[in-house]
Amino acid sequence: MRNHKRDGKITFIELLLIAIIFVFGYFVIIAPMSKTNDMVKEDWVKNNLSTIFDAIQYLDDDQAFTYENMKINDVDILRAKWERSPLEWPQGVFFDSFKASSNELSLAVEFSTGVKEIVFNPPQIEE
């Protein structure tokens, strides 16, 4: 038999089950989104640093070129000479932090957990 006194009423256990479903939904769907965005941003910056490192060999032919004075804009100018579009960067990149040397490139990037320096070391060629 149906209890008509309970029609339209919700119990504490039902509220608790609904709350648990929402909490699990948050941890399964919403919480990993920022981690995924950070991983994509890090790969994007590493790919761009790899492209910059590949372009350095063409800049190295110029006698006025030095690693200490190198800017990201130098690579965009070189790409324009080749009729390629400039490099695209994600939000949160600190271009003033760019450092270049003969064996690595680094750039600071803001992630959801804070600022992190991304370092690109080219693979070593064994002879």
Position with higher pLDDT, 6 vs 108: 108
What's the rounded Cα separation, in Å, for the pair 92 and 49? 15
Please name which of 35, 47, 61 lies closest in space to residue 90, comparing C-alpha atoms: 47
Encoded amino acid at 42, one letter: E
Give the angle 104-106-108 at the CA atoms, nearest 5°.
Answer: 170
**How do residues 43-95 score in pLDDT, each as one tens digit?**
999 999 998 888 888 877 776 778 788 888 888 888 888 898 889 999 999 98
Say which residue the tokens 């063409």 belong to: 58
Say which residue the tokens 């600071």 belong to: 108
